[in-house]
Structure 1
Amino acid sequence: MQENYTTTYNHLSLAERQLIEKWFKEGMSRRQIAKLLGRSHQTINNEVKRGQVQQMDTFRAYHIVYSSEYAHQQYHKQRKKSIKNTKLDKLVLEKIIHYIKAKVSPEVIAKAKFNGQISYSSIYNWIYNGKLGLKRKDMLYPHKTKVIKTVSANPRVYGKSIEERPEDINRRNELGHWEIDTVVLTRAKNKVLLTLTERKSRLEIIRIIADKSSEAVNCDIYYAHAYSSWERGTNENHNRMIRRFLPKGTIKTTTKEVAQIEIWMNNYPRKMFNYSTPIQVYLGG
């Protein structure tokens, strides 16, 4: 039996509802379940009312029981109704604009900042319809024409291939394994950013180094293949987040500015963690 089950987000997940159903069948009380899930007793009471259904036993007698599947369906129906009724009033508008200018994506705004009370598709519609008064430069990733790169027939071998990386690391089951990359700010010979991303928690470390040479980056590394960005998807996603603040062509940046970006990224809610942050996941082990 799972003990001390805790959560960092507001609404019950399907997995939690399935645990509630399982524990009821095992004879647990609502207070016991609330304690195990780290929820209030009232939350469990409300959830049980939402998920009540009639079930017939082998003797053809009907009983009221809790169904996790039915409760989850009812929850989403209620959420859709609340989302449809949400209006873009002054308070909502100001809050959305504040977070977009703080480089937060519409999806994270909807889920983490409004607790799902508005949909991220509504935010996108308001942006494209001009209701938020935002310009192209305010968007995180304006569409650009992508340059197609060609791969050399004889690519340079830098070190151990990513194919040699142990499967335990690939599965992201434990803390302590890091992906490393460099972010070039300008084509001119200049300082670059060295990024280290912890694979399980996505915790980020960013440092300014002299250049992207192997001498400047002295670590035990499993190298990805040339132009194979899908082999280091976490790095690529994090580099895009850095570009929100330091777009290509940035000539200068400071240690203080880089530190602020690092703090921002480590406290940015992530969908993969049910909108917990990397620092929360890292500290939680």
Structure 2
Amino acid sequence: MQAHYTTTYKHLSLTERQLIGRWLKEGRSRRQIARLLGRSPQTINNEVIRGQVQQMDTFRHYHSVYSSDYAQKQYGRHRKNSIKKTKLDKKLSEIIVHYIKDRVSPEVIAKVKLKGIISASTVYNWLYQGRLGLKRTDMLYPHKTKPIKPVVANPRHYGKFIDERPESISQRFAYGHWEIDTVVLTRAKNPVLLTLTERKTRLEVIRLISDKTSQAVNSELEKLSNQFDFKSITADNGSEFSRLSEALTCEVYYAHAYSSWERGTNENHNRMIRRFLPKGTRKTTANAVARIEMWMNNYPRKMFDYRSPNEMMKGG
């Protein structure tokens, strides 16, 4: 056998314990046994101490000796007790599965729905380990790789770039500063979603418009300007936003090409919408869109200590 020991962690087997017992009776030292088994001397020393039993000799004197059978039973008992008991039972599993299928994130499930009896990381672990009986498609945002788009110069210049936006807007000090985008459901010329997200409260506005044109966008914005306060609006460089200044009297800023993170608030909300209307959705209705908007505006947010955008609007 090897004259050195490996650092790879592996439990002693019954055969190894029997060899330890035999070699101890032959008078070998613990260090010699460690070399023969390719184990650490400390491992053998701990094993011998844990496997001690009292044995009486012919003179009725008791001596401590190593017993491989006793050591193996002790090992099995300790292994059984070392397994952490899980809180996951049938009832808890049904609750978590219900909310995940209802498009609720693990953070909100753990903190709000289950009142903190388990952590969000525990829910994620159960998900990834398959202990909830869910498939990859049931997860809100399953991990996947995306091809990297080449960054090219953007010839479009509809107005002020985001670099000119005041720092106070970036710091979300005041209500009324919005980010805007369109969400396409299919590649066919069908209705699309116009989405607006208020930067401070994360209030979401979703409208179903006829198509992805500047005329349809401006027509809807003119209606919304009578309901909401627009102090500024930040858009991407899509052609549908080329004439925003014609529909709104507020400042309009444009993000750089291939820089969706510059409108990260709105992009994250679009991902929430995709929970209900994934790519390829052929049909939806204004009522269905309104229900999604109401759900999002009543959805607890971790950043607001699990208050919703509607509660933030009310100063809750």
Task: Tell me the residue number matched to 2:179.
Answer: 179
The equivalences for 1:256-267 within 5 A come to 256-267=287-298
Q: Deviations over 1:123-146 (max 9, x none)?
A: 112112222111122111122220
Name the CA distance, whole Å, in 2 between partners of 1:284 and 1:86. 39
Name the CA distance, whole Å, in 2 between partners of 1:170 and 1:183. 24
2:298 matches 1:275: no
Question: Counterpart of 1:229 in structure 2: which amino acid?
Answer: S
The equivalences for 1:136-285 within 5 A come to 136-218=136-218, 219=244, 220=248, 221-284=252-315
Task: Tell me the residue number matched to 1:125.
Answer: 125
Name the CA distance, whole Å, in 2 between partners of 1:153 and 1:281. 39
Name the CA distance, whole Å, in 2 between partners of 1:85 and 1:94. 19
Name the CA distance, whole Å, in 2 between partners of 1:246 and 1:168. 34
Question: Counterpart of 1:143 in structure 2: which amino acid?
Answer: H
Shift of the alpha carbon at 1:172?
Answer: 0.8
Shift of the alpha carbon at 1:266?
Answer: 0.6
Question: Counterpart of 2:163 in structure 1: which amino acid?
Answer: E
Q: How many residues align?
A: 202
Task: Tell me the residue number matched to 2:107.
Answer: 107
Question: Counterpart of 2:291 in structure 1: which amino acid?
Answer: Q
Unpaired runs of at least 5, structure 2: 1-83, 219-243
Name the CA distance, whole Å, in 2 between partners of 1:225 and 1:183. 19
What TM-score do the two structures reach when normalised by structure 2?
0.60
Name the CA distance, whole Å, in 1 between partners of 2:145 and 2:279. 15
Name the CA distance, whole Å, in 1 between partners of 2:115 and 2:154. 51
Matched residue SS, 1:249: coil
Q: Deviations over 1:156-203 (max 9, x none)?
A: 123322222222222111212211111111122221100111111001
Gap change, CA 1:151 and 1:214, over 3 Å in 2: farther
* Alpha-carbon contact 1:155-1:226 (below 8 Å) kept: no
Find runs of 4+ consecutive structure 1 residues off by over 4 angstroms. Answer: none
Larger CA Rg, structure 1 vs 2:
2
Name the CA distance, whole Å, in 2 between partners of 1:150 and 1:212. 24
Unpaired runs of at least 5, structure 1: 1-83
Matched residue SS, 2:217: coil
Name the CA distance, whole Å, in 1 between partners of 2:215 and 2:149. 26
Task: Tell me the residue number matched to 2:90.
Answer: 90
What TM-score do the two structures reach when normalised by structure 1?
0.67
Question: Counterpart of 2:131 in structure 1: which amino acid?
Answer: K
Matched residue SS, 1:163: helix
Shift of the alpha carbon at 1:283?
Answer: 1.2
Shift of the alpha carbon at 1:86?
Answer: 6.0
Name the CA distance, whole Å, in 2 between partners of 1:151 and 1:210. 31
* Alpha-carbon contact 1:103-1:244 (below 8 Å) kept: yes
Gap change, CA 1:158 and 1:150, over 3 Å in 2: farther
* Alpha-carbon contact 2:179-2:197 (below 8 Å) kept: yes
Q: Deviations over 1:96-151 (max 9, x none)?
A: 01110010111111111112210111111211222211112211112222021123
* Alpha-carbon contact 1:245-1:261 (below 8 Å) kept: yes
Name the CA distance, whole Å, in 2 between partners of 1:185 and 1:162. 27
**RMSD of Structure 2 on Structure 1 (CA):** 1.7
